Amino acid sequence: MSLKLSDTVPNFVQDSTEGKLDFYEWAGDSWVILFSHPKDYTPVCTTELGAVARLKPEFDKRGVKVLGLSVDPVDSHHGWAKDIAETQGTALNYPLIADHDRSVATTLDLIHPNASDTNTVRTVLVIDSAKKLRMTLTYPASTGRNFPELLRVIDSLQLTDNHKVATPSDWKQGEDVIIVPSVSDEEAKKLFPDGWTTHKPYLRTTRQPGAKTAA
């Protein structure tokens, strides 16, 4: 199947470095970032797994669980984890799916035959607490992923879910946001009592809701 944004991500049960993993049960009511790897003992992926382990406290703060996936078996994963700890200075602190039969990769459309008909591509899925796919990003094998960018996207998704705003290009936590065009000026007065700047009738910016003001 080919998952599209806002589709429900199907459940799966598969082996992992933390035992048999039922995705829905494991995820609970949390958001999830699932990122796939072509195979074990690959250099770029080794750095990525270490980077995510270091960033896990940031994902935790946002109520996001982290889940890796590679197509090799659990024993191989455990051996690779030792290399990750040794070379990246951080041990794995989240489960890594052992998708040895490619069942999860097939379910989530992580195999792109023109790139490889056996190994998963390097895709990131951001999944919300309702199991809806909110973002997908696929990188070529030669380019390591930018995980701070994924934190930025999650910040935007969680903010815009709760307020009638959108985030502009290169937005970061705490910066001004855009009032969505469907909100009239009258409604905006109630929602954004601190006011806003009108650049064009369709482009109004305001302080991020809930952002702390400078001392």
- Average pLDDT for consecutive 10-residue bins of the chain (215 residues)? 89 96 98 91 94 97 96 94 97 95 85 48 91 93 91 97 97 97 97 96 95 59
Q: How far apart are CA 189 and CA 111, in angstroms?
A: 48
Instruction: Write down the pLDDT at residue 121.
Output: 64
37, two tokens:
């790897």
Instruction: Write down the pLDDT at residue 127.
Output: 98
Catalytic residues: 45
Q: What's CA 113's distance to the chain center, in Å?
A: 24
Instruction: Write down the pLDDT at residue 110.
Output: 79
Q: How far apart are CA 23 and CA 28, in angstroms?
A: 8
Instruction: Write down the pLDDT at residue 43.
Output: 92
Instruction: Write down the pLDDT at residue 140.
Output: 83
Instruction: Write down the pLDDT at residue 24.
Output: 98
